[in-house]
Every structure is written in structure tokens, then in C-alpha cells.
Amino acid sequence: MAEPTPIRIFDTTLRDGEQSPGATLNYQEKLEIARNLVALGVDVIEAGFPITSDGDFKAVRAIAAETEGAVVAGLARCVARDIDRVGEALKGTPGHRIHVFCATSKVHREKKLHKPIDEIIRLSVDSIKRARTYVDDVEFSPEDGSRTELNVLVDITAAAVEAGATTINIPDTVGYAVPAEYGEIFRHVREAIPELDRRDIYLSAHCHNDLGLAVANSLAAVEQGCRQIECTINGIGERAGNAALEEVVLALRTRRDYYTRFATQIHAARIYPLSRMVSNFTGLQVQRNKAIVGENAFAHEAGIHQDGVLKERSTYEIIDPAEVGVPSSKLVLGKHSGRHALRDRIVTLGYHVDEITLGRVYEAFKTLSDKKKSVYDEDIEALVESQIDASSSTNLWRLVSLQVTSGTNAIPTATVVLADTTGTQVTDASTGDGPVDAIYSAVQRITGVAVELLDYQLRAVTHGKDAQGEVSVEVRHKDLRVRGRGISTDVIEASAHAYVNAINRIRQVATRDRAAGGEGEEPRA
Amino acid sequence: MAEPTPIRIFDTTLRDGEQSPGATLNYQEKLEIARNLVALGVDVIEAGFPITSDGDFKAVRAIAAETEGAVVAGLARCVARDIDRVGEALKGTPGHRIHVFCATSKVHREKKLHKPIDEIIRLSVDSIKRARTYVDDVEFSPEDGSRTELNVLVDITAAAVEAGATTINIPDTVGYAVPAEYGEIFRHVREAIPELDRRDIYLSAHCHNDLGLAVANSLAAVEQGCRQIECTINGIGERAGNAALEEVVLALRTRRDYYTRFATQIHAARIYPLSRMVSNFTGLQVQRNKAIVGENAFAHEAGIHQDGVLKERSTYEIIDPAEVGVPSSKLVLGKHSGRHALRDRIVTLGYHVDEITLGRVYEAFKTLSDKKKSVYDEDIEALVESQIDASSSTNLWRLVSLQVTSGTNAIPTATVVLADTTGTQVTDASTGDGPVDAIYSAVQRITGVAVELLDYQLRAVTHGKDAQGEVSVEVRHKDLRVRGRGISTDVIEASAHAYVNAINRIRQVATRDRAAGGEGEEPRA
């Protein structure tokens, strides 16, 4: 049998995924995710959109500098300064990619860009050539490609290849395509431009899930000669998100009897830990019935199903949970576990911590294991994440202590003590609609930072009566939206930590310079 | 142009959806959802699996009795007492359906049923005939149909039609199929059995989402002559769930240019309110990037997208949120709103309340609007749901008052007062790992009901500082898992309400009689 065609997995969790409202990732978090994407075996990591902010620029530069074994891509509009900015981010780190895009559909040409197709083609060609002065690897995307007339798509693709593009991505930007139709686009373009095969140009699919068809569309493209799939962990991204990496990969893998001609090089066992990390960092929880990575994905409720699985697993289970890294038992450590065992577990969970951070996590672990008999993977994740955050130099405020009284017949009252970077402690008290509101009022009095609470979520990280609660808040300060997290066996304390964390992060995010764009549009694509 | 073929929407939220771990619905909730499914315009409502419990039996009977304009189906294995039980539930209410199933794939025949195909066909034929003695409308499902050999599928389908089945459902029970392959099954069966078209037998698709392909598979079947799609609100169901009703319907509707030959009779504007109701009742939250009904489904984060939508909506938006009933503004009522305005809003949100319940909701609304300036739709939903629950006659315990002290340097302590059905008040206190744990210990001391806390979630129901928090807990008592909800502007109080609610519901669920099954398998399919 012939060798299967390798299908490249292009992960855009750090670019399209981070565009999910409220999902802003900080620098440390992006690096941690990028390292895990490399370990997962993705071929391309789209690390950001450098022109949009200093944060994106720095993240692309840092990830490009340290990544081996995967191509790092930065996004750019067909605007000289966008391309130059990516070029600068990738400078001195060969083998990486500039990804330029320009909208080509009729509605985008006429209503958004106000440019005829000739001009769009010329602009695209010039931009691709400019990108090629920085790198050998250039991807071009005709935005809203699936709604672009086929002849226009063929013309711009041929011109882009001629200009030096090495990958042509045909995105279903608005999640409008259906599988047979989307596959047909790839068949048509490939047949119309024999040059694509002759020069070994990669065609790529980028699908959004607005009609629930992103995975099926990606697979339909692959069946018609597409060799790169753009996707995100947990399927996060603009609106209803992108094709979920885990679903695309597991469909090809589980149905290798059907997709005999194709294979990815993803290490499936690393999917679940990374899914949890992305969910924790972005605050975008995965619904319980999410395929592959949801809490119920491998749970059998019905008696008939349970009975069947006991008799023969394959009656109701097409994927072994262990295959995608779902641990069979989550209990790992207790108060007698040492530093070494903790480090091993942290590494297995996909985190990279230095000795100083490990020391801090170990201290926090000892404190927690005094309170809690069983320390689960989720507890360890939470400890590591809070220390990664605490080690960030931009933390202005630290929660020293708090005290709360509330009840159905009492006026909820909180006393809060915060320390600033100099160690100076400030104390204040406030009442509120509830204990959490009272704390938040007291924190606002101390910090003087006025924020609006947009979202507040609390979930038990682990099970049982001594479970830790993780609070995730989203706040708005002027036009900035940031998320903060806090964890504790006491939900009130976790709420306070999350709020202080959000206030500290406002400063980090505020440094992201949202430069105005050209072309009559804003630069965040 | 020819009239499009009507595609029947068969909703199984109340059967397959309710099989999601932890999603148990009570009688009132099932009726409320069924009424909204009728208003939504579904063709068939699968209301339960009567043999599995008295609760399912009563729900099927009540829904069948009150439903006009939709067919109500009850599920049965190919076992006489299962079929008789559905027959009994549907007695005196003509026009409804018995749905019988029997596994047919090789792995199920050999490893689960230990029966040769001849015997399975004989059993199925006898069962269909038995069902036809009760009703004219019988659906037959060869379980794990997509993994059944095509010739076996043809044989059993032909026999089922001969025996009197009027709908043949070919389920992708384990979510294994891919679109082209699943469509091909329908094409083959339809071509092999001309009798299907001659007798106007409906073929039906039932797809699970284990590989993220449930919607695409359903659409592929429709393109090959399938005329019924089985699906659930929010895509809930066993493991990764079923095809999501909202995605299937909106794909056919949004792409009517492509699916010109097909149409459903769903009133799309009722999708969003019902999605919220199902999410609230089941405790299965919809992830933010869920298509159609997720919080971010119509949110545009990127500058380029925001800019495009402002210039021309269709650049980045293929569905108008109003089309699926997403309200453009959620602020509706305040302290000066009257009973009439409240009732209107409750009806718009899809709830059916009698005068007594309306009176209670109105009292709770007045109390809330004293605390909160703006009362949102979500607040009203929460008020209605807590009153629907409070009106249940099986509530044993009621929270009278509570008082909590906690803090970083204090031992969390709670004092709780509960009243039983006679009005007798019992007071007790306890310490805990945090204030919520302290409350739960005090409640356990008072009620004497030992439960294990499996899950605890808290979310802000609305935005802003005076938002209400909704706590959803899942507890285990012996082998029962139940969910409880509580709502308050004080998260601690909401936590107490949720816990007391769960303890009250244990009794309701305990009445569900999980009768042992035949065929060497348990009856919950």
C-alpha cells in the first residue's frame, strides 16, 4: 500500500483562538501553550498578529526564537507595515512563515474594501513579494474564500503562486460552506492550476463552525487534495470558533480505515492535557458533551450502554480515553508526596517551570495538602497556574487577608487587606449585595481602579467536600476586557483572588498597543 | 420550482438528551420543555423510555395526553413488557408513536446480544407487530445501524417494513460514521427496497457527535432520501451528544440556496429561549463558542470583523441573531413593572405558569427588584424556575435563614435554619474548609441525608455588580445522582438553596423505578 499523504496541522489557538471575546492570553501563557503545541506535534503554530499589539509582536518573536520542529507563523494584512512587523518578529530565526491575507468575496470587495478585484490581486501580489524578502515560507489567504466566485479564486491563487506564495489557504471565514461544496472548491482550484502540484504548493482549509460543519468541511477539503488543516484546541475562535484540532485529528485517526490515504503526525495522548491548559488559561470552559475532551465524552449513562461496554468496549466506545490522554484515575499526590513526585506530575501535565517557580508551587502544595487529603491533577494545574501568574513582574497588588460576614438577615460586610509592590499594606471595608460584592467594593476602594464586572464563573476544580473552587471573572476597564482567576478551598477567598488578579492584568493588557489599521479597517483580523 | 420535501424534526432532548450524566429532568421540567418543543414546531417528540422508570412512564403519558400538532414517541426494546408499557402510556391518545429498537451490528450481535441475525430479525418483526396492536405509527431502529453490514441492514429493514414499521431509523449510535459513507447507507437501502418509497415509509437519521460530524452526517443522509432527523436542543445526549437541532435547522435554512429541495417547519425564533431553558433545567451549560446558541456565537472580537459588520452585516454574519430569537437587549423590567408586564415576559420566555405560581413569581420579583435596579430575562427565568420547583409537593426542607463568617484567618463557620413540611424549624451550626462547606455540613446535620458533592458550578446569571449568582450542584446519594439549583444576589445563599434543592430532589428521583431488563442488558438505552 502507498504511504499516506501527510496532512499538516496548522494550529491557530494563539491567533484566531485568542480572538474569542474575553480569552486574552498573557505572554507566559502563550509560551506555555506554544511549547505544548510543539510537543503535540503540530506542523505550524500561528502565534499572533504582530501589528495589533506589542504583546502579539513579543509573543511571535519569543515563540519563533525558541521553537524547533514546527513552523511559526505571524499574520499580516496586505499592508506594508503589517508585513514588516512580522518580518521583524521573525528576524534571525529562519524557517518560519509570514501569513498574509486579503478579502476577495464580492460582499467584502464591494462593502468593506471598496476595491475592484484587479486592485486586490495587485495588492496581494505585492504583499506576497514583500513577505518573500523576509522569509521563504509565505502563506496567502483570500479571506472569505468560500464565498468568492470560483474564477476569481482561481485568478488570485494563480497570481499568488506566481508571486511566491508556498501555501494557499481557502478560508470559510464566516462558517457558511457545506462539505460537498467546500470540497468542490479545492477540486476546481487544483484542476484549474496544474502549477500547484508541479511546484508542490500546499492548499489549506480554515473552517469556522457557525453551522456546526467545520470538521466535516475540513475533511471534505482533504479528500480533494488539501494538505493543511487550520484548527484550534477546543475549537475556540471568533464567534462559534474554528474546527477543533482534536476532532479533526481523531476523525482521521479513528477512521483510518476510511481515510487510508491521509495521516497527521499528532501525538494524540497529549491532546487532553493541552485542552485543559487552554481552557484554564482562556477561561473558555469546554461543555460537558464536547467531543473528545468534554467531561462526558466517554461517560456512559444508559444501562444498556454501560452493560455493553462491560461486555465489550467497542460496542459503545470508538476511542479509548487513554489514547487522547484522559487519565484513568486523577488521584496522584498527598501530603507525603515529595518535591520530586510533584515535579514529575507537573511535567506530565505539560507545564514548564523553573526551579524558583517549582519551589513556590511546592510550598503552595504543602499548604494545600494539609487541608486536603487527596491532591488531584486539577489541583496541581491550578497551583502551577497561580504561581505562573504570581511570578509575573507586573503584579501590583497582592491579597494579604480578608474577613467576611454574611447571611440572610445580615448586611454582607467584607474587610480586605492588600499589599502593593513595596509591601505597604492597605486595609478597607465595604458592604455589598452579597459577600463577593462586598469584597469587590472594598478592593475597588483600596486600588482606586474602577471596573465593571462582566462575567463571574465558579467551578469546583475537583470533586468531594474538600474540593477547590476556581473563580474566573471577566471585568471591563474603559475599553479593555480582561479575565482573572483565583483558586481556594474557600469560594469567597477564590473570588477575592480572581478579582485582584484581574485588576493586576489590566496593566499587562493595557500595554498591548491597538494601532489603527489601513485599508479602512481595524487590524485585528 | 417544485415544492421542497418536508424534513421531519424528531426531537429526543427528553430521551437521549436526558441520558446525559447528571441531566435528570423532573416531571414539571419535562412538560415545560415538551410544550416549548410543540411551539418550536418539531414533528416528533421522543418523551421518554417508559419501562425504565415510573417518572418516564408518567412523563410520556402526560405529554401524549396534552400534545396536539406533534407526534409523541416512547421508546421500547424488542421486549414485550417494554412495548406494552409504552402502549399503556399512549392509551386513549391516538396519533402517537412506539419506537422499538434492536442492535444489529456484528459486534453488538456477538458480544452483547449473543444472538444470530435471524433471531434478531424475528424478534424485531414480532415486536413491531406487537407495537402495531397499540398504535398505527411505529418506528424501528436497528441499533448501531451505521456499523451494520449493508446486506443485514437491507434484510432487517425489508422485514421491519413488512411487519408494519412506518419509519425506519438508521442510527449512528457510536458517532463513527463520516458523511459520504453515512449518506451512501441511505442511498443503498432506498435503492435496494423500492417498497420504502411505494409505501411512503420514512427513513430517519440519528447521529452522535463523537467525531464532531453529527450535523454533517444528518445532512448527508437527507441528501440521499432521509426525511427525518433525530436531534436534541443544544446537542445534549449520551457521551458527546446528538446532532444539535439548532445547527441542523439553521444549516438547512441558512443554506436554502444549496438545500433547495428540503425544508423544516421549525419556528427558528423560538430556538434561543428553549436552548436557555434546556440548559437551565439540565445544568448542562452551553459553551461560549457553541454554534447558534453560545454566548459568543454572534460576537465579533477582531477589529476587522467589527469594522466589516458595521459597514455591511453580511460580511461576517450569516445569521441574524434575531432570527433565532436572541434578544437584542436583555433589559426588560424594573421595580415599577407590574404583574401584567411580568406575565407577558414570562410567556415570551416560553414558560407556562398558573395564577398561583405567577403570584409567587411576582412576590419574588418585587423582592428582587428592590435589591436590583435592572431585572433581566435571565433573572426572570431563574425566578420562574425556582418557583416551579418550589411548587413541587415533594419538597421536604425549606431554607429559613443562614449566617456565615469566614476569612483568611478565621475558621469558616455557618449557622443554618431549615423548616420541614410541618413548619418545624431546626437549627444547627458547623465549621468547614470554606463557608460553602460549612453550610453543607450544617445542612447534613439537620437533614440527616448523607450526600457526596460531585460537582459545584456557579455562574453570574446576569451582568453587573448586582448580578444574581446561580449555583448548580450535583450530589450522589447511594447510587442516585441529582442536581440542585439555587439563585441569589449572594453566592453563599445561592449555594445553600442549591444544596437544599438537591436534597429535596433525591426523594423525587428515588421514586424512579429502575426495573431490571431482559435480553441480558439493562433497560436504559
Over 90: is that where the pLDDT of A203 sits? yes
Q: Are the Cβ atoms of A308 and B521 closer than 8 angstroms?
A: yes
Reported as a single tens digit per residue, the pLDDT across B140-165 is 999 999 999 999 999 999 999 999 99
| Helices A117-132/A80-90 angle, 10° precision | 20
Reported as a single tens digit per residue, the pLDDT across A232-291 is 999 999 999 999 999 999 999 999 999 999 999 999 999 999 999 999 888 888 999 999
Whole-angstrom Cα distance, residue A300 to residue B478?
A: 18
pLDDT, average across residues A463-473: 76
Mean pLDDT of chain B: 90
The angle subtended at Cα A330 by Cα A386 and Cα B444, nearest 5°, is 85
Choose among A260, A215, A226: nearest CA to B179. Answer: A215
* B477 contact residues in A (CB cutoff 8 A): none
For A229-257, the DSSP string reads EEEBGGG-SSTT-B-BHHHHHHHHHHTTT
For B399-428, the DSSP string reads EEEEEEEEETTS--EEEEEEE-TT--EEEE
Let me know: does A209 contact B291? Beta carbons within 8 Å: yes
Over 70: is that where the pLDDT of B513 sits? no
Q: How confident is the model at residue B373 (pLDDT cuts 50, 70, 90)?
A: confident
Choose among A273, A260, A229: nearest CA to A377. Answer: A273
Handedness of CA A368, A371, A372, A378 (dihedral sign): negative
* A521 contact residues in B (CB cutoff 8 A): 303-304, 307-308
Q: Are the Cβ atoms of A311 and B403 closer than 8 angstroms?
A: no
Whole-angstrom Cα distance, residue A522 to residue B8?
A: 44
Burial class (CB in 10 A: 0-12, 13-18, 19+), B27: middle
* A209 contact residues in B (CB cutoff 8 A): 289, 291
Give pLDDT, residue A421: 85
Reported as a single tens digit per residue, the pLDDT across B56-71 is 999 999 999 999 999 9
Choose among B30, B208, B87, B453: nearest CA to A305. Answer: B208
- Continuous segment of H or E residues that includes residue A485: strand A480-488
Reported as a single tens digit per residue, the pLDDT across B12-40 is 999 999 988 777 788 889 999 999 999 99
Grid coordinates given for B315? 460580511
Over 90: is that where the pLDDT of A471 sits? no
A358-372, B239-253, B320-334: range with lowest mean pLDDT: B320-334
Q: Is A409 on the interface with B (CB under 8 A)?
A: yes
**Percent of chain B at pLDDT above 70?**
93
Reported as a single tens digit per residue, the pLDDT across A143-167 is 999 999 999 999 999 999 999 999 9
Whole-angstrom Cα distance, residue B78 to residue B86?
A: 12
For A293, residues 6+ apart whose C-beta sits below 8 A from its C-beta are A234, A246, A271, A272, A275, A276, A286, A324
Q: Are the Cβ atoms of B302 and A514 closer than 8 angstroms?
A: no
More confident residue, B98 or A422: B98
Burial class (CB in 10 A: 0-12, 13-18, 19+), B31: buried
Give pLDDT, residue B379: 83
Q: Is B459 on the interface with A (CB under 8 A)?
A: yes
Interface test mutation site (partner A, options B25, B49, B113, B178, max chain A beta carbons within 10 A)? B178
Residue of B nearest to A401 (CA): B408
Residues 233-272 of A with CB under 8 A from B: 235-241, 243-244, 247-248, 250-251, 254-255, 258-259
* B212 contact residues in A (CB cutoff 8 A): 214-216, 243-244, 247-248, 251, 291-292
Over 80: is that where the pLDDT of A126 sits? yes
Across the interface, of A107, A305, A460, the residue whose CB is closest to B312 is A107
For B504-524, the DSSP string reads HHHHHHHTS-----STTS-S-
Reported as a single tens digit per residue, the pLDDT across A481-516 is 788 888 888 888 999 999 998 898 886 666 543 433
Give pLDDT, residue B209: 98
Grid coordinates given for B426? 431546626
Give pLDDT, residue B508: 64
**Pairing label, strands A44-48, A8-11:** parallel
Residues 176-195 of B with CB under 8 A from A: 176, 178-179, 181
Q: Rounded to whole angstroms, what are the CA distances from A38 to A43, A137, A270, B362, B484?
A: 8, 18, 10, 57, 42
**Percent of chain A at pLDDT above 90?**
61
pLDDT, average across residues A317-322: 92
pLDDT, average across residues B197-213: 98
Q: Are the Cβ atoms of A251 and B178 closer than 8 angstroms?
A: yes
For B363, residues 6+ apart whose C-beta sits below 8 A from its C-beta are none
Over 50: is that where the pLDDT of B298 sits? yes
For B381, residues 6+ apart whose C-beta sits below 8 A from its C-beta are B276, B277, B280, B349, B351, B461
Residue of A nearest to B519 (CA): A304
Bridge partners (DSSP) listed for residue B474: B455, B483
Reported as a single tens digit per residue, the pLDDT across B71-82 is 999 999 999 999
Size of interface A-B (CB pairs under 8 A): 416
Choose among B227, B260, B264: nearest CA to B248. Answer: B264
**Pairing label, strands B262-263, B5-6:** parallel
| Helices B117-132/B80-89 angle, 10° precision | 20
* A48 contact residues in B (CB cutoff 8 A): none
Whole-angstrom Cα distance, residue A118 to residue A252?
A: 39
Handedness of CA A423, A427, A428, A434 (dihedral sign): positive
Whole-angstrom Cα distance, residue B217 to residue A343?
A: 44
Annotate B239-264 with three-state secondary structure: CCCECEHHHHHHHHHHCCCCCCCEEC
